[in-house]
A = this chain, B = another copy of it.
Amino acid sequence: MNTSVKNVPAATDVARLAGVSQSAVSRAFTSGASISSKTRSKVMAAAEELGYRPNQLARSLLRGRSQLIGVVLGNMENPFFPLALETLSKQLNAQGHKTLVFTNEANQQADTSIEDMLNYRVDALILMATTLSSSLAEQCQAAGIPVVFVNRISHAMCCSSVTSDNEHGARLIAQHLVDAGYQRIAFMAGIETSSTSRDREAAFTDALIAMGREKPMRVVGHFNRTGAMQAMRQLLKQAQRPDAVFCANDHMAMAATDVARYEYALTPGKDIGIAGFDDIPHAHWPGYDITTYSQPLDALISQTVERVLSQSNQYDAIHTVVKGNLIMRSSTSPTN
């Protein structure tokens, strides 16, 4: 019964059954090819009967384009990444591309995963929360494979990037916290080597200093929940505890909120101001309601897709910055 012979039909089988050549079969499945509707329907009928489907591997091999886009993601614990992956995958699908995905330990170099992807001849690479060795970056350039970093800038000159406006956001947050009357303001960094965290910190610090404040207290939350909770405790157990914290992303801001509220019985907004960055949906859940700077995910991703799929100038590194907005919520209103 269960014969384990898998007999996947090929184009020649269809051709034989339909009484045409293999080329005709190929053309029947290629939109815009030169073929009469009569033979196309003959082919389609035969294909249907045999359960034929064109082998995309062979097609890719021949065309030199696999239609595969490699995506490397960081820590899935942060809701930003799954949401980004979802919109990315949908947009790529809509353009006829498939998504080859790797998840990576946060901020590690993704070299081995990427080598695997290159072996599959991906048409492009999209890297989120990852680094790329410069030797591999050069290989990508040599092979003509566009590489786009999302929300991270690489020192490798040949790679494009799409980021949200970290400077703008951090400046607005600083301004807002000062306006709201907070006095002792702290910053919670993400992963220290990431450009995202560094850019946000630099702009935040500069803005505070420009307004005559001191350099903020600083603590490191590593962009994950556990790290952020520890960092928050470190801040709150001090005698002179800060009265406001800007966390380098919303995911950490949520952890910070939980520590403040449930371990120190502080009411966010009133007793301590908490701000984040990203505007993930969770940031306006009633239990959090966190002031933040919005990263317009759709725009971010569509810019990324455009950069990746545009044939022209794929050798020039283009750095795109997408502006967002300050979203004020109750986590930073001392009067609530």
Contacts and interface: CB of A to CB of B under 8 A. Distances in A.
Interface of A: 2, 4, 6, 8, 51, 53-58, 60-61, 66, 68, 76-77, 79, 81-83, 85-86, 89-90, 93, 98-103, 113, 115-121, 139, 142-144, 225, 258, 261-263, 281, 285-287, 315-316
Given A2-B315, A57-B120, A121-B55, A98 B100 contact: yes
Contact of A76 (B68, B86, B263): B86
Nearest to A255: B285
B100 A99 contact: yes
A305 B283 CA distance: 35
B101 A89 contact: yes
B99 A144 contact: no
B262 A286 contact: yes
Contacts of A285: 258
B76 A66 contact: no
6 contacts: A53-B118, A55-B119, A57-B61, A57-B66, A68-B100, A93-B113
Nearest to A2: B315
B115 A53 contact: yes
A142 B102 contact: no
B61 A90 contact: no
Given A6-B142, A89-B101, A98-B117, 6 more contacts: A56-B116, A77-B83, A77-B281, A79-B79, A93-B102, A258-B285
A16 to B, nearest CB: 19
A319 to B, nearest CB: 17
A46 to B, nearest CB: 16
